[in-house]
Amino acid sequence: ALPQVIIIGRPNVGKSTLFNRLVGKRLALVDDQPGVTRDRRFGEAHLLGLDFTIVDTAGWEDEDEASLPGRMRQQTEAALQGADVALFVIDARAGLTPLDEEIARYLHQSTVPVVLVANKAEGKAGDHGLFESYALGFGDPVPLSAEHGQGMADLFEALLPHL
Ligand code: GDP
Ligand code: MG
């Protein structure tokens, strides 16, 4: 089986945009498969010669940012089972939010290795959030622009040791 990479983060940080960029045209096939849930989407990703299964999650969507109901935690927990590495995506333009910090605490308790991705990092508007994200405790963030396809080689290098 292919190694599995799971995308985690609060709503609107660009998780699905990253998923779509990694999966490309194969997305349509994925959507036709049975068993695709609203909360998780699976795709076959290709990144500079790396092949892996990519999982888009929506476990923290539609929730009050002040609280994380157990149901949503459980869904993320289920999605983390069997993942070889988690891509924890933050929005470099928006900077860190309490929900980012909550998700970070959650991921620090997990045994799954985490690669921190600072998305929306194109241009200078993302600089502050990029530096701020060091505080999450996952080491160097990978600056990325999922929308513009920038930083994909750095993402490859960060994933390589885990796959
Ligand atoms: P999700 O809720 O985490 O799945 O986020 P989406 O992928 O739906 O993206 C949320 C919004 O952010 C959309 O309007 C995207 O077009 C935008 N977005 C995604 N990636 C980037 C990026 O790299 N740069 C900028 N500026 N916007 C982005
Ligand atoms: Mg999404």
Q: Find the CATH number of the domain harbouring 89.
A: 3.40.50.300
Q: Is 41 in the pocket of ligand 1 (CB under 6 A)?
A: no
Quote the pLDDT of residue 69: 53
Q: Which letter, b or e, does each residue of 112-148 get, where b requires 16 or more Cβ atoms within 10 Å of its Cβ?
A: bebbbbbbbbbeeebeebbebbeebebeebbbbbbee
Structure confidence at residue 135 as a pLDDT band (50, 70, 90): very high
**Domain of 56, in residue numbers:** 4-162
Sheet with 40-47: list strands edge to edge.
Answer: 40-47, 50-57, 4-8, 85-91, 114-119, 142-143
Q: Strand, helix or coil at 161? A: helix
* Residue to substitute in 12, 100, 145 for testing ligand 1 pocket (most ligand atoms within 8 angstroms of CB): 12
Q: Is 53 in the pocket of ligand 1 (CB under 6 A)?
A: no
**Which ligand does the CA of 17 lie closest to?**
1
Give the contacts of 129 (CB within 8 A, at least 6 positions apart). Answer: 90, 91, 92, 93, 94, 95, 96, 118, 120, 121
Q: Model pTM? A: 0.90
Structure confidence at residue 51 as a pLDDT band (50, 70, 90): very high
Residue 146 Cα: closest atom of ligand 1: 23
The domain tally of the chain equals: 1
Name the closest-CA residue to atom 9, ligand 1.
14
80-96: pLDDT as tens digits: 888 999 999 999 999 99
ipTM above 0.85, yes or no: yes
**Better-scored residue on pLDDT, 46 or 61:** 46
Residue 160 pLDDT more than 60? yes
